[in-house]
Amino acid sequence: MSEYVLESPSAIDLEWVVRRHSAIYAEEYGWDNRFGSLVAEVVAQYAGSKDPECERGWIARRAGENVGCVFLVRQSKEVAQLRLLLVEPSARGLGIGRQLIQECMNFGRRCRYRKIMLWTNDVLVAARHLYEEAGFHLVHEERHCRFGPKITGQTWEAALQSAIKGKDLPCVGSVGGRVQ
């Protein structure tokens, strides 16, 4: 079964985001609890001060189970940040990551952001490939060991061109749509 749905995250989903990021990145990359702490901070900030007009999160569900997530948060009036993209190992290769990134891009355009930026690490090869495919380009790199192993942090950006012409419209995103 490859069908999945994208929905807004509940409080329980936000706990899942922290738990699964911590577990998956520890298992796959050897990252320590400092990474889980960073994810918890990002989720707490989103939950505590989210502006639904210009910030949104998505949870991908397949057969009733959470299998992915992503968040788009405001950095400034013109810049949004894509955060916490994750796809469960059992659901990789189904296009979920690509669809989550596309939801961020579409929402960012509707909100009239000029660009979306993100911070990732060089070891996340599959995610970086999806970012490139979506039009992101690398703008900065720095070596660090914030999560244990020495890795290279990367800042990526993608320009957004508003598809909506004319009057300023409120930002309305799609949530709960069925995706194949």
Domain spans, the chain: 4-179
Task: Residue count of the chain, please give it.
Answer: 180
Q: How far apart are CA 143 and CA 146, in angstroms?
A: 9
Q: Does the pTM of the predicted model rise above 0.75?
A: yes
Dihedral (CA of 7, 8, 10, 15) sign: positive
Among the listed residues 147, 151, 120, the one whose alpha carbon sits nearest the alpha carbon of residue 136: 120
Beginning with the edge strand found earlier in the chain, give each strand of the sheet holding 4-7 in spatial order: 137-144, 151-159, 115-121, 79-87, 65-74, 56-62, 4-7, 178-179
Q: How far apart are CA 86 and CA 96, in angstroms?
A: 9
**Rg (alpha carbons) of the chain, rounded to whole number:** 16
Which CATH number among 3.30.1300.10, 1.10.287.110, 3.40.630.30, 3.30.565.10 corresponds to the domain 4-179?
3.40.630.30
Interatomic CA distance for residues 107 and 174, integer angstroms: 8
pLDDT in tens, the chain (180 residues): 469 999 999 999 999 999 999 999 999 999 999 999 999 999 999 999 999 999 999 999 999 999 999 999 999 999 999 999 999 999 999 999 999 999 999 999 999 999 999 999 999 999 999 999 999 999 999 999 999 999 999 999 999 974 444 444 444 444 444 433
